[in-house]
Amino acid sequence: MDESVFLGWEAGVRKVGKPGFVKGAYEMIVRERDFGYLLIKQHDHGWVSGEFAAHWREKFHPWSRTELAIRYHDAGWDVLDKNIRWNPNTGRPFSFVDYPLEEKLPAYRQGIDRVEAKDTFAACLCSMHYASFFRDAREEESIRFLKREERRRKRLRSTFSERDRECLADGLRLLKLCDDLSLFVCLNEPGRNDHPWYRNGFRYGEQTLFPVWRERNRLGIHPNPFDGDFEVEIPYLLIDSDGEEMERDRYRIRISGSD
């Protein structure tokens, strides 16, 4: 595993003050515990999305560029993830759901810029992915973001072959599925399906895939779309309700065929 990409948790995290910013710690996904919060970085979640894609059975054109988009789709968050920021309205750390829009949108744009520097097809998929979050946008900054990304996609698509343009929809569909699969193992405790987003499974085109916990740390997806069994690992930081670090580690989930 490329540790320069799979970020993990840096040593030396200080006590996290409330409210405000503290350098050296990271958050994106916030899972509430009785005694505090389990935090997972956004780009680590993105890397796990890429692991699901890497083991997809029915690969399609252009595969390497699609997989790159899936693995790096949340790269823009690594700047925001360098601070734990507490939401004064909820008294808990901000997550990707409630993070302030005026800071989140520039991070989205910068992340797509970084992907574009690696591959234009991957950047177009990431732009399509983020634009889909704001279909009913009314905020001025969201509308500006949508218009800017629409111009980007038009510019990028003009350089693609007809075959590549025809494959964008398939690539976006798989990006969203792998994003959901990774979020499932990040938002839920191992062996559980408590988060409301995925209680009815995962949509993939006209198909619905269902999570099946075979053991606490062994997850099957039915029908099984993968080429074999594999393991994903998720780095996390555990803090108490005062922001004091309690534990840093990684948990592992074995993905196995349920058919």
pLDDT digits (tens, 9 = 90+) for 175-197: 999 999 999 999 999 999 999 99
Where in the sequence is the domain holding 100, given as residue range(s)? Answer: 29-257
Asked if residue 144 is part of any domain, the answer here is: yes
Q: 25 falls in which pLDDT band (50, 70, 90)?
A: very low
211 strand-pairing partners = 221
Residue 8 has pLDDT above 50, yes or no: no
Residue 32 has pLDDT above 60, yes or no: yes
Q: 75 falls in which pLDDT band (50, 70, 90)?
A: very high
Residue from 179, 245, 232 nearest 39 by CA? 245
Asked if residue 60 is part of any domain, the answer here is: yes
Question: How much is the pLDDT for 215?
Answer: 95
Asked if residue 80 is part of any domain, the answer here is: yes
Asked if residue 20 is part of any domain, the answer here is: no
Residue 211 has pLDDT above 50, yes or no: yes
Selected residue with higher pLDDT from 112 and 13? 112
pLDDT digits (tens, 9 = 90+) for 222-256: 999 999 999 999 999 999 998 899 999 999 999 98
Average of per-residue pLDDT across 101-107: 93
Computed over every residue of the chain, the mean pLDDT equals: 89
Return the percentage of the chain with pLDDT > 70, whole number.
89
Other CB atoms within a 10 A radius of the CB of residue 120 amount to: 17
Looking at the structure of the chain, the number of domains it has is 1
Q: What is the CA radius of gyration of the chain?
A: 18
Question: How much is the pLDDT for 84?
Answer: 86
Contacts of 95 by beta carbon, 8 Å cutoff, 6+ apart: 27, 28, 29, 30
Asked if residue 22 is part of any domain, the answer here is: no
Residue from 99, 76, 75 nearest 86 by CA? 99
Asked if residue 13 is part of any domain, the answer here is: no
Question: How much is the pLDDT for 79?
Answer: 85
Residue 12 has pLDDT above 60, yes or no: no
Asked if residue 186 is part of any domain, the answer here is: yes
- Grouping H, G, I as helix, E, B as strand and the rest as coil, residue 257 is strand
Question: How much is the pLDDT for 258?
Answer: 53
Query: Global pTM?
Result: 0.89
Asked if residue 59 is part of any domain, the answer here is: yes
Contacts of 70 by beta carbon, 8 Å cutoff, 6+ apart: 46, 49, 50, 52, 53, 125, 174, 175, 178, 179
Residue 15 has pLDDT above 60, yes or no: no
